[in-house]
Each structure stands twice: as C-alpha cells, then as structure tokens.
Amino acid sequence: MSNIRVRIAPSPTGKFQIGNARTALFNFLFAKKSGGTFIVRMEDTDQSRSTKESEENILKSMDWLGLSWDEGPTIEGDGYKGSFGPYRQVERLNTYDEYINMLINEGKAYKCFCTTEELEEERSKQKEKGIAAPKYSGKCKNLSKEEVEANIKEGMPFTVRFIIKPEKVKFNDLVKGDVEIDMSNYGDPVLVRSDGMPLYNFVVVIDDLLMKITHVIRGEDHISNTPIQIQIHEALGNTPPKFGHIPLTLTPDKKKLSKRHGAVSIDEYREMGYLKEALINFLVLLGWSSGNEQEIYSLEELINVFDLSRMQKSNAIFDIERLNWLNGIWIRKKDINEIVDLSKPYFEKMNVKSDQEYLNKIMLLIRDRLKYLSQIPELTDYFFNEGRLDKQKLVFKKSTAETTKKGLEAACNKLSSLGRWPESTEDFSTILAGAVADNGMANGDVFWPIRYSLSFSETSPSPAELLWALPKEVSLTRIKKAIDAL
C-alpha cells in the first residue's frame, strides 16, 4: 500500500448530495488507483445543524455506491475504523485547543475583541472609500498582553484570528496547474468563534496534518481557502498536502446546480430507480474523460484507468438526459432476474403479487424503454389492470369500425381455436398474419386493434409480444370486449 492518503469530509447537516458524491468518487478513485488510503471524516462542528441521521445517510449512500472507505466512522453505532481517529470533529475539540494555544503563544494568532457593530462599521467605511472587498483591519493584533488580559478579566467575548502574511502564495494545483494568490487582499481570518467553537479553515488543517493527508481533492469553490490553509500549515511547521481543485458542475444554462436541475440527494436518485452503476458512470464523466471514445465504465474499470491529470479545467454541465441514457444502458446490461429483483419495490407499490416468470416476461418487453425504474407503474399497469377502452383508438388510421371488428373477430377465432397457447412471439405473429391473409385485410386492420385492445395504449409492445406475455384468458377476454365495443 502506498503512503497516499486522501479524504472526503462532508458536513452531516442533510442528505448526501450528488455534488458530494462526485467529490467522494474522485477521491476514492485516486486512492484506489495508487493503492492509497481513502478516509471519511465528519465535519460536524456546526452542532446546531449536524445530526446522527445525516451522518448515517452519508455513510449508507457511499456504501450503496460502492465507495468503501478504509478509515472513518462505521455505519452502525459510534465506532471507527482506522488509527488516526476520532473521525468526527466534535470529538477532537481538545486537540484543536492545543494547536490554537500554540499559535497564540508563538505570536501567529491573536484574540480579537471587536464587536459585530465595530466590524460592520469598519466594512462600511471601507466601502465608502471604494474598497470592493473590505477586510478586517487587524487592530486587535496590536493589543498589548496587559490589554488582552484586562479585556478577558472584564469578561469581554473574543474570537481568535490567524495572522495572514501579506505575500503571494503559490502552489501547483493537481488539476489547474500553477496558481498564485495575493494574500494582501485577505484579512486575518477567524479561527475560533466567540463561543469557543473552531472554524473550518483551522480544523481542516489540524485534521489533515494529524491524519497525514497527502492530497486534498475538492471542488473549485474551495480554492480561495487554500492559501489560508497553506499559511496555517506553514505556521505549524508542516508541509501542506498537495491540492487539486476539480471543476464545478453547473446547469445547462451555466448556473449553480439547484434541486430543479439535479442537485438532489443520492437517496432520491435511488428511489427514482437510478442504478448505482449508472450514477457512478455519470458522475465520473462530469469533468473527466479517459481520452478515448469509451463512455461506459464500471467502478472496477474506473479504478484501473483513472488519472487525475485527465480532469478538465472548465466547469462540467449536468445533463439529466445523459444520466437517463446511461441508466438505460445499465438497466439493459443487467441479467433479467437481477433487474426484476431491483424493480420489485415499484411493482409492490402497485400492489402486484406475481410470479417471477410473469415479471421476467414483462421486463423483457419494457426494458428497452426504461430510463429509470420508477417508470415501471406507468409502463406496466395494463399487465395487471384493465384500462379504459377508447373505441375510436381501436380503428387504425383510415380503416373503419366495421373492418376493425372483422379483423378482431378473425384474430380471436384463430387464437380461441388453438389447442396449445404458443410460447414464442414469432408464433403469435404468424397467427395474426394468417388472420390478415385469410380475410384479405391490411396488417393495420388486425395488428393495431389487437395491440390496443390488449394494452389500452398506442405506445405499447407489439401485439405478438403482448399475447406472449399476458395470460391466455386475459388476452381473449380483452379482445372480446373490444369486439363488443364496436
């Protein structure tokens, strides 16, 4: 195993979203391709919003997707796996205190007693002077030791701020290449709130340091945090990890992804009937390609071919139709028994209790039309329930009701006289073709009304396929009702 260590650090404040899943996937693939370690860490310092339910949802979603982690919280209970824990930030507060005191004692951080009103006044004055991006003046940095002690003695609340070096921070981004950020535009960031709770830019550095994280792969929206974190690492005498900022995922009109455009939880995609293989395949193609024509990848294939240098620099576009296309492909790649098993929750919602053989037949007929499994009720209802017959739709194009009735009767007579119900669609096609030939009719005078009378739909499988799948009694009863309707 290599010494490469990467992490995904979600906040357990809601369900596991598609964007977090994409970031987790890229970290997972980077670790597995290199024989490294993939770590899950919970950023749960926001205790007012963090919940155990959210943590479980994150872990169960990752597990369902196949993104197994080497270190981090376990799905059940409050345990961990790995020797660099705890892996929940709220359980590491004493450790953060040690490092914040170290920075203060070494003159690299300071206590700030500025009130919210004072800070707002500073910002307003800077804006009045035409400063587009106001920053904290740093005035508390100049307080004497005696002034600090006096303020504390008076019970004045304070935050802790890190002293930014006003220099240019340069780093080689694993995705974007050489990056240079001028820190003279940054104010001293708050590391610890007045209630004593440490903030993101500080705790993430301490965790990455102590967990020996070698590579940080995250969204491009974090790039403004990177120079701050690099300076904190250096202030602690640590060599920062390597950073890679992956492009964002935007809507087709280049806006931030919203729930309306696909920014929903993995749970919701799963409930809609998207397969995990399709989601993995779709997510990896949001900003990455192998450099060849291949688009269909299993997780195992991706582990073998993944190369972070193949990540595009421009933002990715979330195209739900591409996801639907990929999901359809993965549905068709599945063994018929497996896809029926995956579909059973949707059949159960229809209160359907049918044997495996019947469900297999149905799935064989509708599989090519499925984009996601939650379409099953609308595509299969007529296999279990009789629909409303519209006698006008029984008549094909320029045919007549009289001719249509004659065609249905001819087909019904042939089917009723069969000693043994055929077992292939070809046999049913031959029988229907015989009804056409024997009566000098057009195909549409027989095939179309049989199809509609069996499915109550104009977009169903062929009449021969319907006769093959539906029970004999159901087929004959529906055809006879169509005859009576004319």
Residue 154 DSSP one-character state: T
Q: What is the predicted pLDDT for the residue at 69?
A: 98
Domain chopping of the chain, boundaries: 1-74+247-333, 91-246, 334-378, 391-485
Q: Which CATH architecture has domain 391-485?
A: Orthogonal Bundle (1.10)
In the Cβ-directed half-sphere of 281, how many Cα atoms lie within 13 Å? Answer: 22
Q: What is the predicted pLDDT for the residue at 178?
A: 97
What distance in Å separates the CA atoms of residue 486 and residue 483, rounded to the nearest whole number?
5
CATH annotation of 334-378: 1.10.8
The domain 1-74+247-333 is classified under which CATH number: 3.40.50.300, 3.40.50.620, 1.10.10.60, 3.30.390.30?
A: 3.40.50.620
Q: What is the predicted pLDDT for the residue at 262?
A: 67
259 is catalytic: yes
Q: What is the predicted pLDDT for the residue at 263?
A: 67
Q: What is the predicted pLDDT for the residue at 48?
A: 85
Q: Which residues contact 197 (CB under 8 A, 6 or more apart)?
A: 45, 47
* Continuous segment of H or E residues that includes residue 172: strand 168-173
**CATH topology identical between 91-246 and 334-378:** no
Class (C level, CATH) for 91-246 = alpha beta
115: left (phi over 0), alpha (psi -120 to 50) or beta: beta
Burial of 423 by CB count in 10 Å (0-12 exposed, 13-18 middle, 19+ buried)?
exposed
Q: Which residues contact 332 (CB under 8 A, 6 or more apart)?
A: 367, 368
Catalytic pick from 127, 168, 170, 259? 259
Q: What is the mean pLDDT of each run of 10 residues along the chain (486 residues)?
A: 91 94 98 97 91 95 98 91 95 97 98 96 90 90 96 97 97 97 96 96 98 97 97 98 96 80 86 98 96 94 96 93 97 96 94 90 96 96 94 92 96 94 96 96 96 95 97 97 94
Q: What is the pTM of this model?
A: 0.92
